[in-house]
């Protein structure tokens, strides 16, 4: 399947997720969906990514994660407290794995950093992003910047645990994506 068709097929589920967010009024999810969409467009234009055999798998993972967030956040019902806690923990570990992988690919392929440096930068930047996300949620839901409550600390901890897991997964990967050679080399 050519790259143009792949972009169209990726745009459809992404657009549908954005429509669900808009229709349910959970617009605080839009920045996440827009940034994810932007990064997918950027990655799709990078030769090291666009020609990699696992690209479709990665794209599916990224869009599936967006749909998981939409499903968890936009649903009209709530589960019991233990189930809600488990969903939230899975969401944050997934957040670390998926967004950390996305950051890793951006550092590796766009900036052409070495794999080890890209991985470390992805783990650090993701955790900074995770803290920023908690601050963003404080402002959106609380109306002002507040000290982190226990739930925020739990989320930050799960983000950190997920990023450590990502580090070990990528570090042990037998199928590394490598950047295309820089022009002139």
Counted domains in the chain: 2
**114 found inside a domain:** yes
**144 found inside a domain:** yes
Q: How high is the pLDDT of residue 143? A: 61
Same domain, 111 and 145: yes
Average of per-residue pLDDT across 30-44: 91
Least confident of 63-77, 114-128, 169-183: 169-183
Write out the two tokens for 25. 């009024």
| Average confidence score pLDDT of the chain | 87
pLDDT digits (tens, 9 = 90+) for 91-134: 999 999 999 999 999 999 999 999 999 999 999 999 998 898 88
Q: What is the DSSP letter of 107?
A: I
Write out the two tokens for 107. 């550092």
Q: How high is the pLDDT of residue 47? A: 84
Let me know: does 6 contact 44? Beta carbons within 8 Å.
yes
Range of the domain at 172: 80-179
Taking the C-alpha atoms of residue 68 and residue 49, their distance in angstroms, rounded to an integer, is 24
**185 found inside a domain:** no
At 106 the three-state DSSP class reads helix
Phi, psi of 78 (to 5 degrees): -125, 150
**24 found inside a domain:** yes
**48 found inside a domain:** yes
């Amino acid at each position: 399947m050519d790259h143009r068709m792949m972009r169209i097929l990726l745009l459809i589920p992404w657009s549908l997720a954005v429509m669900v967010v808009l229709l349910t009024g959970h617009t605080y999810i839009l920045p996440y969906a827009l940034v994810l969409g932007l990064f997918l467009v950027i990655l799709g234009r990078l030769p090291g990514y666009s020609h990699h055999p696992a690209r479709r798998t990665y794209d599916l993972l990224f869009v599936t994660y967006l749909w998981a967030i939409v499903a968890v956040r936009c649903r009209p019902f709530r589960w019991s407290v233990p189930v809600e806690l488990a969903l939230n923990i899975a969401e944050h570990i997934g957040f670390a794995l998926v967004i950390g992988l996305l950051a890793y690919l951006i550092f590796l392929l766009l900036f052409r950093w070495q794999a080890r440096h890209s991985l470390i930068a992805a783990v650090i930047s993701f955790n900074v992003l995770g803290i920023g996300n908690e601050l963003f949620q404080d402002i959106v839901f609380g109306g002002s910047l507040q000290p982190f409550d226990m739930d925020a600390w739990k989320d930050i901890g799960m983000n950190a645990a997920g990023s450590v897991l990502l580090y070990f997964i990528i570090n042990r990967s037998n199928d590394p994506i490598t950047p295309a050679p820089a022009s002139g080399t």
